[in-house]
Amino acid sequence: MNGTPSIASRIWKLHRVLYIQVLAAVVIGVLLGHFQPSLGIQLKPLGDAFIRLVKMLIAPIVFCTVVHGIASLGDLKKVGRLGIKTILYFEVVSTLALLIGLFVVNYFQPGAGFNVDPKTLDPQITQSYVQKAHDLSTTDFLLNIIPATFSAAFVTGDLLQVLFLAILTGFSITFLGSSGVPVLKAVDTVARIFFGIMGVIVKFAPLGALGAMAFTVGSFGLSSLQKLFALMAAFYLTSGVFVLVVLGSIARLCGFSIIRFLFHIRDELLLVLGTSSSETALPSLMQKMRGLGCSNSTVGLVIPTGYSFNLDGTNIYMTMAAVFLAQATNTPLDLRQQLGLLLVAMLTSKGASGVTGAGFVTLAATLAAVPAIPIQALALLLGIDRFMSECRALTNLVGNGVATLVISRWEGEISPETLRARLGGVKES
């Protein structure tokens, strides 16, 4: 029929779609890493460069977005109400993720029968992670939220420090009243510039994904998954059930489908899959949440805060990995010790961010606080942590996206009908 695009032309147009490009790059990266491991390892700088380009813009984008979100509210009571709702939601869902991980690893017991003697493991292998873990003590963690100087937060890229400064700045602009309006407009303009830069950088996402996947498979090989496949399978399965059942139920209560939401953020999911870092998708996720009808203030507060306080995938990983190591080293953990582990993980997980490997560091911090489990056993997980970090990052991303829509619904910013329409759904009867 005239005017109807042919199948060939439709297929040709697909190559311009970002998620198709990233998916193709991931497949090519896996093949290169498997069949040409030396070449795959040499491609590591492609992945590193892309992640560094994105991280370069995370701090200013988060700062401008949070400042604009708080200052544009005007009503400080609304800021407080929104913050309380956000933290309450984060704590409930994060704790649920920890409990689910604890239940699954005890039920399936993937580490049972490994019979690993901790004395045979080289403690030097995990020394750097243990050292970082000691830096995550409660006191140091709280003090570290305050940067040495205003600019230091942007130099180091510490997300919590940037959030701290952004909240102070946002409130300060609000106190200025009408005289703060020009400042607010300037912040919005600067934010648009950074989002424009991000739009250019994202076009190179396929190269970054190709380099990251080629290096991962080339370094560790597909065979590295065999011995610890049980833990990986249990973790991926648990994360999938958490997203589809737990977050899916929350989504249904708020009037939208989790499946349609996952399809809506497919670009971001594939970008995270390729880079193993949820931070690479932070700016575009924020834009999509605005496109669905969430206000600037809700997006600006919930998503950046969620990247430090709502890491569902990291929470599931920490309880499962810690108990797995106890099982693998034949370290008995009674109910009291496991509940203690849960409480420690609730605190240490708050220090994790979307950066690749952060979950491994927080796991080290958790084990350092639970001396019953030999911390040198971390060496067992080093070979597969990269593969585990992909699942952590994907689950974290979905969790923060759902959280934003939930808070937005609670605030009455968007109706279920409008949300379903923008997600491509059909109005429910």
SS3 for the chain, per residue?
A: CCCCCCHHHHHHHHCCCHHHHHHHHHHHHHHHHHHCHHHHHHCHHHHHHHHHHHHHHHHHHHHHHHHHHHHHHCCHHHHHHHHHHHHHHHHHHHHHHHHHHHHHHHHHCCCCCCCCCHHHCCHHHHHHHHHHHHCCCHHHHHHHCCCCCCCHHHHHCCHHHHHHHHHHHHHHHHHCHHHHHHHHHHHHHHHHHHHHHHHHHHCCHHHHHHHHHHHHHHHHCHHHHCCCHHHHHHHHHHHHHHHHHHHHHHHHHCCCCHHHHHHHCHHHHHHHHHHCCHHHHHHHHHHHHHHCCCCHHHHHHHHHHHHHHCCHHHHHHHHHHHHHHHHHCCCCCCHHHHHHHHHHHHHHHHHCCCCCCHHHHHHHHHHHHCCCCCHHHHHHHHHHHHHHHHHHHHHHHHHHHHHHHHHHHHCCCCCHHHHHHHCCCCCCC
Q: pLDDT tens digit string along 324-336?
A: 888 888 888 888 8
What's this model's pTM, rounded to 2 decimal places? 0.70
Q: What is the pLDDT of residue 97?
A: 92
Average pLDDT over residues 329-346: 82
Min mean pLDDT across 88-92, 156-160, 330-334 is at 156-160
Higher pLDDT, 333 or 4: 333
pLDDT above 70 coverage of the chain, percent: 77
| CATH architecture group of domain 7-422 | Orthogonal Bundle (1.10)
Q: What is the pLDDT of residue 34?
A: 82
Q: What is the pLDDT of residue 174?
A: 81
Average pLDDT over residues 187-196: 85
Q: Which of 2-6, 155-159, 202-206, 258-262 has the highest mean pLDDT?
A: 258-262
Min mean pLDDT across 254-268, 296-310, 371-385 is at 371-385
- Residue-averaged pLDDT of the chain: 78
Segments making up each domain of the chain, as ranges: 7-422
**Predicted confidence (pLDDT) at residue 402 exceeds the cutoff of 90:** yes
Q: Which of 24-33, 45-54, 282-291, 300-309 has the highest mean pLDDT?
A: 282-291
Q: What is the pLDDT of residue 77?
A: 66
Q: What is the pLDDT of residue 74?
A: 59
Q: Note whether 272 and 397 are within 8 A (CB).
A: yes
Average pLDDT over residues 385-400: 85
Higher pLDDT, 44 or 98: 98
Q: What is the pLDDT of residue 252?
A: 94
